[in-house]
Structure 1
């Protein structure tokens, strides 16, 4: 179950000559590397920045770069992610150690950085993937909440992360920003998404404090100890991390969290293993988070709907790139169906006024 890369997708290859030259001058211990020594594979499960495993003579590094055809922005700003990981590691040890960054797009066609590889298990919920027993899933679900609460409790000022974002007005900026992204990425009408955007704008609560927030905290961004799947070794994919309202971060996690009795269209999206026996339900997740963090979470309806809306917009952005021909990844061809399913569930949650029993 150790997470392993696959062959690099066509059109996403890395030029070995400039990569080897960069590693030889910037990565300690790689001074002797030559292009013919490099073996490059790709971690193919992500939907955002591209992630590669670079090997040479028994050494390994992970490389992150933006995909082709994306506009500049924090979600694809890998140099910002590199700075964040470098600053965050001393205060929150469950992040990989960074090695070097390159801001010259002439090297590989875009900025990139390299970091150590953290070996472990990543539960993606792919077809045929073994599912841990119920007791293990329960322990992992509880640890999931504990790790999220621990991140939100981090003293970001003492960690030197004050320039990571602007927490004041964060909720308003998120609702407005994701609504604008939806309009920019639309390829057709999805009335449920339009109605969810309007509801979020009307129901927007005040900011609920400031924390370091991951903004994509889910099972398949956790690296787990192969000997104990309830122990988190590292948290990956920090490209959207910032300072903001921690309940918005909780909402994003809830958007990915599928309950066993959710509508079939949502379960078919295979967002992860959260519906497997033993997991917390969304309501139980919220209750545990409230208990550990001592935050007033309320019914979490606004934050859950926001999580579904945000996830739908991300899927729509990727689908739009596929429609425009910027990517050939076949996984992206059906993401318009995911957008409709997420919009439908957001509308159902709003109608029923709750985050559970939505099937």
Structure 2
């Protein structure tokens, strides 16, 4: 049988065929009915769909179907690797949605494309309290920031060898080589895409290699993109860490460089109450691991190269397509241009500002 992700009858037949994967023992229903299938609007790298299912005598449940766009993925990491990260996080204490199965059977792949199914964790990515910049809101903003830091520390504490992450993600030669190894991954990938040479990238890579920090004392599992918009919250706590497409084994500073709005700068009467230095001290107290400001700054610079890498992956994906998706064209052109500006800023200044004599 074959069908589309918008065909409720096909999705219902698919879920019935995989009913043994849907639920944990001893809860084993004999039938399910799909009520609704919707595509979520958030997310860029891949597609995320929700499936509402009615379970006999047990009400309704919601599941998630995750797959690449028709043209492929924007991020270079594979869909199966993303699924494998979720699978290996089970039992570690890291809050993530439970993945149920990876579908690569031609008979059941929606629209003929691989997909994986996971449970939907009830939560919301929005945190209205972060927008309260009044003195009365300081304590709650700091508490939310600390909750996020606690969960990052939990990710970094995962025994990645025991969980088999070394079979999914590349392992740096040593903690001191984390930055250099990440650069080499980017360079190798970009070379494999066969795009046009980029003098900006070449100059940036040379500088990044020369300035690569070597003070990292341990290799940890890093999430990648994290922070506001990337996690599910409920009652002021993180209930699920999502979006693992840029996960790596490396320096914990890599994650601090990619925090989105979860380390607010709070200064009252000229006195710093909270910010990155305080967040790093809090993290060190919780973990015994020191992450320095200069390493975080370095990985923020390196992000321009990471961004350029996935834009070149997209360019290679759509090269030769007669009608490429607009999102992919925009990423391969506008985002690529901006990533080069970001890299150039560190050796040529801000090229978006005009110079006046």
TM-score by length of 1: 0.70
- What corresponds to 1:176 in structure 2? 184
Measured against aligned partners, the alpha-carbon deviations of 1:158-192 in whole angstroms (never above 9, x if no partner) come to: 44555343423354442122134445669778654
Classify 1:187/1:158 alpha carbon distance in 2 versus 1 (closer, same or farther; 3 Å). closer
The Cα shift of 1:71 comes to 7.1
Equivalent in 29, 41, 45 of residue 44 of structure 1? 41
Q: State the secondary structure of the residue aligned to 2:238.
A: strand
- Provide the C-alpha distance between the structure 2 equivalents of 1:288 and 1:161, rounded to a whole number of angstroms: 27
Q: State the secondary structure of the residue aligned to 2:66.
A: strand
- Provide the C-alpha distance between the structure 1 equivalents of 2:334 and 2:164, rounded to a whole number of angstroms: 42
- What corresponds to 1:120 in structure 2? 123
Classify 1:213/1:101 alpha carbon distance in 2 versus 1 (closer, same or farther; 3 Å). same
Equivalent residues of 2:46, 2:73 under 8 A apart: no
Classify 1:65/1:305 alpha carbon distance in 2 versus 1 (closer, same or farther; 3 Å). same
Equivalent in 180, 205, 221 of residue 230 of structure 2? 221
Classify 1:83/1:275 alpha carbon distance in 2 versus 1 (closer, same or farther; 3 Å). closer
Matched, 1:309 2:317: no
Q: Over the residues paired in the alignment, what is the CA RMSD in angstroms?
A: 3.8
Classify 1:185/1:150 alpha carbon distance in 2 versus 1 (closer, same or farther; 3 Å). same
Mean CA deviation greater in 318-327 or 307-316: 318-327
- What corresponds to 2:100 in structure 1? 99
- Provide the C-alpha distance between the structure 2 equivalents of 1:297 and 1:344, rounded to a whole number of angstroms: 27
The Cα shift of 1:122 comes to 0.7
- Provide the C-alpha distance between the structure 2 equivalents of 1:22 and 1:62, rounded to a whole number of angstroms: 14
- Provide the C-alpha distance between the structure 2 equivalents of 1:336 and 1:326, rounded to a whole number of angstroms: 12
Classify 1:47/1:317 alpha carbon distance in 2 versus 1 (closer, same or farther; 3 Å). farther
Matched, 1:165 2:169: yes
Structure-to-structure mapping, 1:342-357, within 5 angstroms: 342-349=339-346
Equivalent residues of 1:33, 1:56 under 8 A apart: yes
- What corresponds to 2:206 in structure 1? 198
Matched, 1:145 2:139: no
The Cα shift of 1:220 comes to 1.7
Mean CA deviation greater in 292-301 or 96-105: 292-301
The Cα shift of 1:95 comes to 0.6
Measured against aligned partners, the alpha-carbon deviations of 1:6-44 in whole angstroms (never above 9, x if no partner) come to: xxxxxx95444543222102134675346xx44211122
Equivalent residues of 1:49, 1:76 under 8 A apart: no
The Cα shift of 1:288 comes to 4.1
- Provide the C-alpha distance between the structure 2 equivalents of 1:101 and 1:110, rounded to a whole number of angstroms: 11
- What corresponds to 1:86 in structure 2? 87
**Structure with greater strand percent:** 2
Classify 1:303/1:334 alpha carbon distance in 2 versus 1 (closer, same or farther; 3 Å). closer
- Provide the C-alpha distance between the structure 1 equivalents of 2:334 and 2:126, rounded to a whole number of angstroms: 23
Structure 1 residues without counterparts, runs of 5 or longer: 1-11, 258-271, 353-359
Equivalent in 218, 230, 234 of residue 209 of structure 1? 218
Classify 1:72/1:305 alpha carbon distance in 2 versus 1 (closer, same or farther; 3 Å). closer
Classify 1:132/1:30 alpha carbon distance in 2 versus 1 (closer, same or farther; 3 Å). farther
Classify 1:105/1:216 alpha carbon distance in 2 versus 1 (closer, same or farther; 3 Å). farther
The Cα shift of 1:208 comes to 4.3
The Cα shift of 1:246 comes to 2.9
Equivalent in 236, 246, 266 of residue 242 of structure 2? 236
Equivalent residues of 2:129, 2:141 under 8 A apart: no
Measured against aligned partners, the alpha-carbon deviations of 1:247-273 in whole angstroms (never above 9, x if no partner) come to: 3xx32541x45xxxxxxxxxxxxxx54
Structure 2 residues without counterparts, runs of 5 or longer: 23-27, 55-59, 268-273, 350-357
Q: State the secondary structure of the residue aligned to 1:70.
A: coil
- What corresponds to 2:270 in structure 1? none
- What corresponds to 2:131 in structure 1? 132
- What corresponds to 1:297 in structure 2? 291
